[in-house]
Structure 1
Amino acid sequence: METLLETPRLVISYDEANDWLHLLWRGSHNPSDEKTCIMEVLEKIRLTQATRVLNDSTLDEDGWSELTYWIANDFMPQVADAGVVAAAWVMPDNLQARIDVHNVLVHVSRPLIDTFLDAEAAYKWLKTEPTAPDRVSEEPKE
């Protein structure tokens, strides 16, 4: 896996063998820095032409309360338009961050997103499952 970006808040890696980006969110943030990080994700999707994303939010400490509407209604459609067909979202341990993920996902119709409680399950799903880009699951899988 090749690291494309590493900041205190976000690590973006490209897994060429699987043709996906691996995102690792960690710590706390502020909305202006967070939007910059999120736009870096879109830039890396376009750069690599990745079709899938493993979005690991396990270490997210405070969520995206200020940005949930923008993520759901602006960012995620851009992700889909850039060619991403599926994303596996590993749920954060932090309760507020989990609520924010839910608030994003209830408004996303594309790309296909499923949620998981651990990265291994997300990895397995992303390797085999993503085929219906109009489906969103809100219940995390073990």
Structure 2
Amino acid sequence: MQLELILENDNLTISYDHDNHWLYVNWQGFHNQESSRQACLLILEVMRRRPAAKILNDNSNITHTTVYLTSWSLNWLQEMYAAGLRYLAWIYAPEFPERKSTDAIVQYIENPTVASFDDLATAYNWLRRQRVGT
């Protein structure tokens, strides 16, 4: 796997996966609502500079989170869609208290398509199977 580092800070790393032509976003450490919003804005900034139709959004390295989906989150997804995102594979944090309510919302998001997973391998395989229209 050939990853090109695009952005790195204490709790977020964004790389471009040249083999799969997608962004790999690796979240680390503690995240609350504010830190998550800041991270999402960074992801959007990267998307606008380097559009990708797919994102592998890996939360498996988050040690603690108090995040939940809000209307801001849904608006952010629409901005990501406008920037070119079509598929987002979201690997949940090991401890994610809002999982059930998030699953209930995620199933209704159409653009971009968002799918949630418990592990990297399953998310990776799902994302590889998604075809981007030309």
Normalising by the smaller structure, the TM-score range is 0.7 to 0.9
- Over aligned residue pairs, what C-alpha RMSD do you find? 2.2
Cα deviation code 1:48-93 (max 9, x no counterpart): 111100001112221423x633112x10001111111111111221
* Aligned partners of 1:92 and 1:98 also within 8 Å: no
SS in structure 1 opposite 2:77? Answer: helix
Higher strand share: 2
What displacement does 1:117 show? 1.5
Give the number of equivalent residue pairs.
130
**1:1-142 equivalent positions in 2, closer than 5 A:** 1-60=3-62, 61-65=64-68, 68-72=70-74, 74-96=75-97, 98-99=99-100, 101-102=102-103, 105-106=106-107, 108-130=109-131
SS in structure 1 opposite 2:28? Answer: strand
* Aligned partners of 1:86 and 1:130 also within 8 Å: no
Paired with 1:92 and 1:98, the residues of 2 have a C-alpha distance of 9
What displacement does 1:16 show? 2.4
Paired with 2:32 and 2:93, the residues of 1 have a C-alpha distance of 17
- Matching residue's letter, 1:7: N
Unmatched runs of 5 consecutive residues or more in structure 1: 133-142
Paired with 2:121 and 2:90, the residues of 1 have a C-alpha distance of 11
Structure-2 change in CA distance of 1:93 and 1:10 (3 Å): same
Unmatched runs of 5 consecutive residues or more in structure 2: none
What displacement does 1:131 show? 5.7
> TM-score w.r.t. structure 1 length?
0.79
Structure-2 change in CA distance of 1:7 and 1:99 (3 Å): farther
Identity over the aligned pairs, expressed in percent? 28
Moved more, 30-39 or 117-126: 30-39
Higher helix share: 1
Structure-2 change in CA distance of 1:37 and 1:51 (3 Å): same
